[in-house]
Structure 1
Amino acid sequence: MGTMSVNVATLRSATSVAAARESAREFLEDLAQPTIAAEAADTVILVVSELVTNALRHGSSLCALDLTAHPGSIEVAVHDGSPQAPRMRTPHLNGGTGGFGWPMVNRLARATAVTRRTTGGKTVSALLTW
């Protein structure tokens, strides 16, 4: 099992989220045996994408991604400079965007947590079993 930290670019763009997804794929591919199943890997990458997108959209223009492998689970943690915790919103069903990500992360994860950082900001984490 291993740990990896990835700093996501300071840009508020899809390229930052794409870089986070690619880093997560590489992390999962590099895990020691047993390897993670394709469906579980897709779930981890989806959660990475959602948490990084939320951090860049609602947190601040800079965030960091930490992935930690534990026996039977992967922890996804995203740190950003905003003290405001994610909140459940009513999804926009008629052409709008947003409101789906945080509920989806909570449904996919075994556990989620929001922790205030002593240096400012917060860490949003999700524990995913595989």
Structure 2
Amino acid sequence: MRTHGTRLDTGPPDLDTGPTDGAVFDKRPEAVAHARDFARAFVDRLRPGMDPQDVVSVELTVSELITNAVRHARGTSCSLRLEAQPDAIAVTVGDADPRPPQERAPDLAGGTGGFGWPMVQHMARAVTVTRGPNGKTVRAVLPR
């Protein structure tokens, strides 16, 4: 995992909008747990602290988007960028595959998924997919 970040100094002095922080993960199954830990450490640094349910939503969104990149996208790595805004957290995941996420019927019997993408869309205030010549980014904006 490679990380980078910059400090944002915007907003009123009593509201720490927090850093913008990012990491690049090799596309291996353990990337999901590393990304979740990265997200938890990010939100733990925010002041004022977040509501516990909002923290869970951020962690779950990171987990689902990184899982999708690891399982379904082309390329050998994926990126995660977290940005704290005064009233929201933006989660952006990038990969080398220009194909957008595909909604599919949830698999209730075989355990092969299908729940994550609809769940992210439900939890987020907004979800955007930006496709480019080198892949795509998926950005979910969640309440803070």
Indicate the TM-score class for this superposition, using the shorter chain for normalisation. over 0.9
Q: Superposition pairs for residues 71-90 of structure 1, below 5 Å?
A: 71-90=86-105
Give the SS at the match of 2:58: helix
Match of 2:115?
Answer: 100
Match of 1:7?
Answer: 24
TM superposition score normalised by structure 1: 0.92
Q: Superposition pairs for residues 1-130 of structure 1, below 5 Å?
A: 1=17, 2-8=19-25, 10-13=26-29, 15-31=30-46, 33-60=47-74, 61-118=76-133, 120-130=134-144
Amino acid at match of 2:109: N
What is the aligned length? 126
Q: Which runs of 5+ in 2 are unaligned?
A: 1-16
Could you list the structure 1 runs, at least 4 aligned residues long, displaced by more than 2 angstroms after superposition: none
Give the SS at the match of 2:107: coil
Give the SS at the match of 1:92: coil
Q: Distance in 2 between matches of 1:91 and 1:11?
A: 23
Between Structure 1 and Structure 2, the one with more helix by share is 1
Deviation at 1:97, TM superposition (A): 1.3
Percent identity, aligned pairs only, is 47
Amino acid at match of 2:139: S
Give the SS at the match of 2:104: coil
Q: Distance in 1 between matches of 2:99 and 2:80?
A: 18
Cα distance, 1:72–1:104 mapped onto 2, change above 3 Å: same
Q: Distance in 1 between matches of 2:118 and 2:27?
A: 25
